[in-house]
Structures are given as C-alpha cells and as structure tokens.
Amino acid sequence: MTQEMGIDPDTMDVHFINGVVKISENVANIEAEVAAKKLQPTLVIVDTVAAYFEGDDDNDNVQMGNHARLLRSMTNLPGGPCVLALAHPTKRAADDDLIPKGGGAFLNEVDGNVALRRNGQVIAFEALGKFRGPSFEPVHFELVTVQHPKLRDTKGAPSRPSLRCRSRISALWSVSGRTSVTRTRCCALSISTPQEPPRRGEAARNERQPRVPDRAEAGAAKADPRGA
C-alpha cells in the first residue's frame, strides 16, 4: 500500500500498539502516549474484536456489552476519535447476516455495523443491521494485486503478492467517512471471509455423500436434458 499510494511509513501520522494488550489495563498508558506526542487522533482501529476480548465467553451478553463499552471509552481521547472495531461474522453467514458474531449486546452498544462483501475482485462497503446516522449508498473497492520489492520472507526470497483495496467511488467514501466521524462514534466492521476448508473427517464424509445441485444447476439440467 505504501508503494502503490506513495506513502512514506516513517512520516505518516499513524501510530501502532505492538501485539495484543488488555485495553482495560492500558487505558492510562494510551492516554499518556497520546498526550506526550500531542496527538489528536480522528480514528482508532481495533484489530480485532475477538483478539482484544477480555472475557471467556463471547456469547455472553454481559461480557460482550462490557467489551463494547470498553472500546467506546477510547472515543474520549483528545480529538474525539471514531473507534472502528474489526469483527468477523459467524461462519458461513449469509450476505444479509454479516453482523459481529457473539452476544447481541455488542451490536446494541455500538453505533453501527458496516459490512464488507466480496464479489470477485470487488468489495462492497455498506451499513447493515444497525447504523446511527444518515444512510449512504454502498461504497465499492477494487482489489489490486501488488508486489513490494522490500517485502521478503525469512530466506530472503520475494514475498507472495499482496492485495490492497482501491476506492472506485471516492465521493461516496468521503460522505460516509464524514458521517462516521460526526454521527457515529463507535462502529463495528463485519468482514466476510472465504469459507474454511472442511476439518479432518468432514472431507471423507462429504465424498461419500452425493452432491445436491443448486437451483441454477437444476434449472439448466431441465432446460437441456443432454447435460445429464
């Protein structure tokens, strides 16, 4: 991304916390660093909701509600940043059910949920399930494969090409971004990922079971009997 967009990582105004820490035990440290560097953050990204969850059961509404409120507390940092928490939906979630997995109290406590849907090389970004603020049309991003000359593996060989997103509709993105900052303070981003491969034993069972054709295939077979 730095190569493709001409960004100098040494001068860009982005700050990272290395590793996964307990936010509840590091709020004072985060506030002290922000004050020491005289920062006015506009966006805090939590990657991911599950990684920073401090409870023992993400299906527990009380624990998930407390987790959402803990993330929201970072909106009180200087600059009043928007907190964007990256979350995964349940496995094999349908396109209309891309909300954070776990207790529903989490979604109740945040200001909105924005889903990412991938269709080939295009990703759609749109509000889903809940969004406190003006509605906006889906924003589309194109996935572009890039190779960075400085990225190497442990053996010094060039790393695998990586993907970056390129906005197709920059005007709508600016509108949705302004909405997020002014009206939506704590937001969850649900990311739809490809289905995981079957676990050991499931593959063998799937091979023994006949495959059921989907509706499109069934319709095609009826229209052309020679396809059998």
3 state SS of 83:
strand
pLDDT at 188: 60
Q: What is the reported pLDDT for 227?
A: 44
Per-residue confidence (pLDDT) for residue 216, from 0 to 100: 43
This prediction has a pTM of 0.69
What confidence category does residue 221 fall into, taking pLDDT thresholds of 50, 70 and 90? very low
For residues 143 and 68, the model is more confident at: 68
Residue with tokens 């820490």: 21
The pLDDT, as a whole number, for residue 40 is 93
* pLDDT-derived band at 68, boundaries 50, 70, 90: very high
The percentage of the chain sitting over the pLDDT mark of 70, rounded to a whole number, equals 69
**Residue 179, CA distances (Å) to 82, 110, 131, 184, 214 in order:** 10, 15, 10, 7, 40
Q: Residue 207's pLDDT is what?
A: 43
Confidence (pLDDT) at 167: 54
Nearest partner of 133 among 113, 105, 108, judged by Cα: 113
Cα gap 162→1, rounded to integer Å: 9
- Give the least confident one: 19-28, 94-103, 119-128, 149-158: 149-158
